[in-house]
């Protein structure tokens, strides 16, 4: 997303934390969704690395007596916290157990875990091995600056239920492209799970009316997901994950 809404949220968080830091003994900032439009590095000359700009903004919050502690959840890139400066400490929590639970709720124990592209292959392989299910990947080729084409599907999905896992769903373009590839390869039905459901504008409606995704499940790291929750979109709370970490850190 990374648009006006994310900018305002980041600034509001900065202003509130800035006020608290002057009085607090310690300061913990929980940031379930770190919005930056997946701009964690520059590709073209003059591009702004939004992830770095927002990390530096958070780093500028005055340090409480015992320091500032930032909590992130399922970052798109694990290297993002390295943009933090000064004495900020960070923790990167993984919603793996919640994602696994979402998968089992959607399809039970018998399904193939799949990716939207080869870039998420390592995540999918790790989760599939832990759950003891098969895995599948699609391979894409970029044909223009804004268009990609699926070139191949690796793994057997014939007559199987497929769950596509991605860390984030925004407009759903990559998700729908991958889902069609799995259906064309013989999948019986396709579902999807993600840590962050952003769904700007009419994105969720486009995914639902496409007819290629049977059901969708995400966590509530982004408020947009709760606003759009429905029979098609199931939303799961990350509160247990956050509570467990905060309780441990306060011991």
Residue 139 near residue 151, CB atoms below 8 Å = yes
pLDDT of residue 229: 97
pLDDT of residue 144: 47
What is the number of other CB atoms lying within 10 angstroms of the CB of residue 108? 9
Average pLDDT score over residue span 109-113: 96
pLDDT of residue 19: 67
SS3 104: helix
pLDDT of residue 145: 45
pLDDT of residue 143: 52
**Comparing C-alpha atoms, which of 237, 243, 205 is closest to residue 222?**
237
pLDDT of residue 76: 86
pLDDT digits (tens, 9 = 90+) for 227-243: 999 999 999 999 999 99
pLDDT band at 226 (very low <50, low <70, confident <90, very high): very high
pLDDT digits (tens, 9 = 90+) for 17-42: 666 666 778 889 999 999 887 777 77
- Mean pLDDT, the chain, as a whole number? 86
**Do 96-236 and 4-93 fall under one CATH topology?**
yes
pLDDT band at 51 (very low <50, low <70, confident <90, very high): confident
Average pLDDT score over residue span 105-127: 90
pLDDT digits (tens, 9 = 90+) for 178-216: 999 999 999 999 999 999 999 999 999 999 999 999 999
**Comparing C-alpha atoms, which of 169, 152, 70 is closest to residue 118?**
152
Residue predicted with more confidence, 134 or 117: 134
* 1 has a pLDDT exceeding 50: no
pLDDT of residue 141: 59
SS3 243: helix
- Please name the CATH architecture into which domain 4-93 falls: 3-Layer(aba) Sandwich (3.40)
DSSP category for residue 78: T
pLDDT of residue 22: 65
Average pLDDT score over residue span 93-97: 95
**3-state DSSP percent of the chain in helix, strand and coil, to 5:** 35, 25, 40
Structure tokens at 75: 């970052």
Provide the residue ranges of all domains of the chain, joining segments of one domain with +. Answer: 4-93, 96-236
* 3 has a pLDDT exceeding 50: no
On the 0-12 / 13-18 / 19+ scale of CB atoms within 10 A, 101 is middle
pLDDT band at 62 (very low <50, low <70, confident <90, very high): confident
- pTM, full prediction: 0.86
Average pLDDT score over residue span 58-72: 88
Q: Map tokens 């994310």 to a residue.
A: 6
- Please name the CATH architecture into which domain 96-236 falls: 3-Layer(aba) Sandwich (3.40)
pLDDT of residue 20: 66
pLDDT of residue 41: 73
């Amino acid at each position: 997303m990374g648009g006006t809404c994310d900018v305002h949220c980041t600034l509001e968080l900065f202003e509130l934390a800035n006020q608290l830091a002057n009085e607090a003994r310690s300061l913990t900032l929980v940031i379930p969704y770190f919005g930056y439009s997946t701009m964690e590095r520059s590709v073209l000359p003059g591009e702004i690395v939004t992830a770095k700009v927002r990390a530096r903004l958070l780093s500028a919050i005055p340090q409480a007596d015992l320091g500032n502690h930032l909590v992130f959840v399922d970052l798109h890139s694990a290297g993002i916290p390295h943009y933090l400066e000064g004495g900020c400490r960070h923790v990167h929590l993984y919603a793996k157990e919640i994602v696994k639970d979402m998968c089992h709720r959607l399809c039970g124990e018998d399904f193939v875990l799949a990716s939207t592209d080869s870039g998420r292959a390592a995540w999918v392989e790790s989760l599939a091995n832990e759950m003891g299910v098969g895995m599948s990947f699609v391979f894409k080729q970029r044909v223009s600056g804004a268009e990609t084409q699926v070139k191949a599907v690796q793994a057997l999905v014939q007559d199987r239920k497929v769950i596509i896992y991605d860390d984030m769903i925004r407009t759903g373009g990559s998700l729908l492209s991958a889902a069609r590839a799995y259906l064309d390869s013989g999948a019986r039905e396709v579902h999807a799970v993600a840590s962050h459901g952003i769904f700007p504008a009419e994105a969720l409606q486009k995914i639902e009316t496409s007819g290629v995704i049977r059901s969708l499940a995400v966590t509530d790291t982004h408020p947009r997901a709760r606003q759009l929750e429905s029979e098609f979109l199931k939303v799961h709370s990350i509160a247990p994950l956050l509570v467990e970490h905060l309780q441990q850190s306060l011991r």
